[in-house]
A and B are shown apart, each in its own frame.
Chain A
Amino acid sequence: MRYAGRPSALAAWVFAVLIALFLASFADAGRLGQKRSGEQAARAELAARLRLTDLALFTEARYTRHPSLADLHSAAQDHPLSLEHFPSGSLLPPPAHLRNHASLDRETTVPD
């Protein structure tokens, strides 16, 4: 089937639809946000009630399950020279408060 009108009119329609969908994605984000805010509040309530500190995103190793509580040698936890062997470990940095540990030692009065 061939389009009989001017190509610019067709392009205008296609782009009008795409831009409308683009704007609709923001409206949809607002709608989903309202719909899912109750679920998020339930998660926050459970985290507060059980004193949880981490998301259960990566359960493969203890230092990826609770990165905020990981100890200083977590990447080399099995022995001091062991190589990192979990895939998440290659994507997961050491916790922020453990990075630049040496320099923090000199800057803070609270030892890490």
Chain B
Amino acid sequence: MRHWIARQRYLIDFTLASLARRKTKNIGLVLVFSLLVFALASVTLLTSALRQEAARVLAQSPEVLLQRMVAGRHDLIPPGYIERIGRIRGVQQVEGRLWGYYYDPVVKANYTFQVAATVPPPAGRIVVGPGLARFRGVQAGNVLSFRSYSGKLFTFTVDAVLPAESELVSADLVLLNEADFRAFFDYPAGHFTDIALSVANPQEVRTVATKLAAALPDSRPILRDEVLRTYQSIFDWREGIALALLSAAILAFAILAWDKASGLSAEERREIGILKAIGWETGDVIRMKLWEGTLVSLGAFLLGYLAAYVHVFHFSATLFAPVLKGWAVLYPSFTLLPAIDGLQIATLLFFTVFPYAVAVLVPIWRAAITDPDAVMRG
């Protein structure tokens, strides 16, 4: 065993000395390789953390949401619907939700106005999300004016700002009471935006949804399961798109690695010839190159993964913010709960380290089995 370790150490010494002779080229290769792993690992870590965040945060969202559809579009719930739903067996609690969008031309941002069902703010006062407060530079006690869609100017006093840690769900929220909401949007009395309902027995959610659809044919029930599934698929899709965009980079790197791995330089060829001539066995040459591939690819994987971890969980994935932000003016600042998917990291490790370590072997093996004299002469 000791002999084996000593032998491997000599091989590693030789490999490192050989890599150091082509220092610039090899450092460049490790950097590009690390950058690629960094990009792939950042996408993987971010999407898996966001997926878990959505699943946990929205776990208590309404069990069933009922929208009314008119000509394929979401429409207001007219009076009488809530009473009819309340009569359906299995429905425990029914609550009309009032919410809508407001475009603020001052800062060119979209807000979500919503009536706070529990503990609504007093008349003329609003509670705002931390993103909005930061963007408009307001705090509790300040005054905010909005011109409503009917053209009238409404002035509200900021009662409170929602806690900063809730920003991922509340960045653009403006909470107000029902009377202010109806006055601001000129909302017809007795109408609601949609209906949130809870079901006594969680096993019966689907049955209740079927009954709802039968009793109110123009309605569309959206189950909590579907909301959660939407978020799973959004981040699967987003990860897929990001990986598809990165595929060009992966392909470019594959070409670079293939070129390096398959086309031995004259210098490397001569080196193998000399090693063979001074008595190295083919197995030793292959082992030496295997060490080279492993050291380069494992080093690049570790560097890239560590940088991605710090980027996503300590710097809130700052480099991806412009992509996620799109044209939105209001973008939440948030810190995610780390969710590392061991299987994904193992897959990434396998697909970065293993192919590279193996790719260097083929041409070396071909060169190593030929006559040293022929190899040295090229």
Task: Confirm or deny: A106 has a beta carbon within 8 angstroms of a beta carbon on chain B.
Answer: no
Q: How far is the CB of A52 from chain B (nearest CB, A)?
A: 5
Q: How many residues of A contact B (CB 8 A)?
A: 66
- List, in ascending order, chain A residues with CB within 8 A of B13's CB: 6-8
Which residues of chain A come closer than 8 Å to B53, judged between CB atoms? 40, 55
Question: Is B266 part of the contact surface with A, judged by Cβ < 8 Å?
Answer: no
B119 closest partner in A (C-beta): A49
A22-B302, A47-B58, A109-B210 known; A56-B222 Cβ under 8 A? no
Query: B169 to A32, Cβ gap below 8 A?
Result: no
Q: Which residues of A contact B260 (CB under 8 A)?
A: none
Q: Decide if A47 touches B169 in the complex (CB within 8 Å).
A: yes
Residues of chain B within 8 A of A46, CB atoms compared? 162-163, 166, 169-170
Query: Contact at B110–A60, with CB atoms within 8 Å?
Result: yes
Whether B169 contacts A43 by the Cβ 8 Å rule is yes
Query: Are B60 and A47 in contact, with the CB atoms below 8 A?
Result: yes
B106-135 near A? 1/0 per residue, CB < 8 Å: 000111101011100000000001010000
Give residues 332-374 of B contacting A (CB, 8 Å). Answer: 332, 335-340
B328 pairs with A88, CB closer than 8 A: yes
Contact of B337 among A21, A40, A52 (CB under 8 A): A40
Chain A positions 51-90 with a Cβ under 8 Å from a chain B Cβ: 51-62, 64-65, 67-69, 71-73, 86-88, 90
| Contact status A56-B169, CB under 8 Å | yes
Assess whether B173 is in contact with A56, with CB atoms less than 8 Å apart: yes
Most buried by B among A56, A58, A68: A56
Q: Is B287 interfacial (CB-CB < 8 Å)?
A: no
- CB-contact partner of A19 in B116, B171, B229, B302, under 8 A: B302
- Measured CB to CB, the closest approach of chain B to A10, in angstroms, equals 8
Proximity string of chain B (163-195) to chain A, C-beta cutoff 8 Å, 1 when within and 0 when not: 101111111110100000000000000000010
B residues within 8 A CB of A65?
101, 110, 112, 172
Q: Is the CB of B230 within 8 A of A97?
A: yes
- Name A85's closest neighbour in chain B (CB-CB): B327
| Cα A90 to Cα B155 with chains together (Å) | 37
Shortest Cβ gap from A17 to chain B (Å): 9
Q: A51-B97, A88-B326 are in contact. Are A32 and B338 (CB under 8 A)?
A: yes
How many B residues are at the interface, by size bracket?
35 or more
In this assembly, does B54 line the interface, its C-beta being within 8 Å of a C-beta of chain A? yes
**A56 to B326, Cβ gap below 8 A?**
no
A72: nearest chain-B partner, CB-CB: B72
A4 at interface (Cβ–Cβ under 8 A)?
A: no
Q: Does B297 contact A (CB under 8 A)?
A: no
Q: Is the CB of B117 within 8 A of A56?
A: no
Interface 9-mer from B61-69, B251-259, B272-280: B61-69
Minimum CB–CB distance for B179 against chain A, Å:
18
Known: A40-B337, A110-B206. Contact between A18 and B57, CB under 8 A?
A: no
Binds A, one of B81-89, B137-145, B146-154, B232-240: B232-240
Are A50 and B116 in touch, CB under 8 angstroms? Answer: yes
In the complex, A15 has a CB within 8 A of chain B: yes
Q: B337 to A33, Cβ gap below 8 A?
A: yes
A42 near B166 with CB under 8 A, answer: yes
**Measured between C-beta atoms, what is the minimum distance from A108 to chain B in Å?**
9
Known: A8-B9, A68-B231. A55 touches B57 (CB 8 A): yes
- The answer on a CB contact under 8 Å between A96 and B324 is no
Residues of A within 8 A of B168 (CB): 43, 55-57
Q: Residue B303 at the A interface, CB < 8 A?
A: yes
- For residue B95, CB closer than 8 A to chain A, the reply is yes
Chain B neighbourhood of A26, CB < 8 A: 340
Alpha-carbon separation in the docked complex, A111 to B214 (Å): 9
A56→B56 contact, CB < 8 A: no
- Tell me the bound Cα distance from A111 to B67 in angstroms: 12
Could you say which residues of chain B place their CB within 8 Å of the CB of A32?
313, 337-338
CB <8 Å contact, A56 and B170: yes
- The 8 tightest CB contacts between A and B, nearest first, are A48-B60, A29-B338, A7-B16, A39-B165, A87-B326, A60-B328, A8-B12, A97-B226
* A-B contact list, 5 entries, CB within 8 Å: A40-B337, A60-B110, A68-B227, A69-B194, A109-B213
